[in-house]
Amino acid sequence: MTKKNFSFLLIGVACLCFFTAFAQGGDTAKSQEKPPSYSNRPAKKAMLYAIICPGLGQIYNKTYWKLPILYAGLGTAIYFIVFNQHYYNLYNKQLDQLNANPGSSIYTSSELSSVITYYHQDRDLSIIITAGVYLISIVDANVDAQLKGFNVSDDISLRFTPNLFPNPLTGSIVFAPGFTLVKKL
């Protein structure tokens, strides 16, 4: 497995874990309690905190479990930036030595140029991935703050009711089965 494939695999697994954990959300023990009032937590403030420092918006929203996932993603992406930059500089230095003193390297000029291009592209990709993780943390803090006051309760049921739908071909009204979501009061 190449380093590039490994980095995509690692980032993919981190995103999968993040989105799986995010989708699982709350548990049943909390659904029986009265939801706390989050009216004093505006989304703009959470987003501003997330812009200032990655993870601060999640701390503001009191979703502490997201911090290790966020910092693992950022740390991995920054590691690959440093790793690729190191090898980019190393091979670039060898190319400069080869140009100054022909025959001083076991690599040809075209081989070194190819390797330099490879590490340069990987470094740029790692920078884009780091920015993506950072932007996802900002969006997550904003959305999480907006949805804190959203009432999710067990009082929602699904029942079948007949509906009248117009027939688009003839323009007549016909009985057709339909689904209606009804909230119990």
| Domain that includes residue 107, residue range | 3-21+36-151
The answer to whether residue 30 sits within a structural domain is no
The answer to whether residue 93 sits within a structural domain is yes
The answer to whether residue 168 sits within a structural domain is no
Output 33 or 95, whichever has higher pLDDT: 95
Does the pLDDT at position 26 exceed 60? no
| Whether 60 contacts 46, CB under 8 Å | yes
The answer to whether residue 82 sits within a structural domain is yes
Instruction: Tokens for 107, please give them.
Output: 């690599």
C-alpha span between 170 and 35 (Å, rounded)? 50
> Average pLDDT of 16-21?
45
Angle at 90 between CA 89 and CA 91, to 5 degrees: 95
Does the pLDDT at position 24 exceed 60? no
Using CB atoms within 10 Å of the CB of residue 59, give its burial: 0 to 12 exposed, 13 to 18 middle, 19+ buried: middle
Q: Which pLDDT value is given to residue 103?
A: 79
Instruction: Tokens for 119, please give them.
Output: 């590490």
Output 122 or 14, whichever has higher pLDDT: 122
Q: Which pLDDT value is given to residue 104?
A: 79
- CA quadruple 96, 100, 106, 111: dihedral sign: positive
Does the pLDDT at position 129 exceed 60? yes
The answer to whether residue 159 sits within a structural domain is no
The answer to whether residue 172 sits within a structural domain is no
**What is the count of structural domains for the chain?**
1
Does pTM surpass 0.85?
no
Q: How confident is the model at residue 151 (pLDDT cuts 50, 70, 90)?
A: low
The answer to whether residue 183 sits within a structural domain is no
The answer to whether residue 43 sits within a structural domain is yes
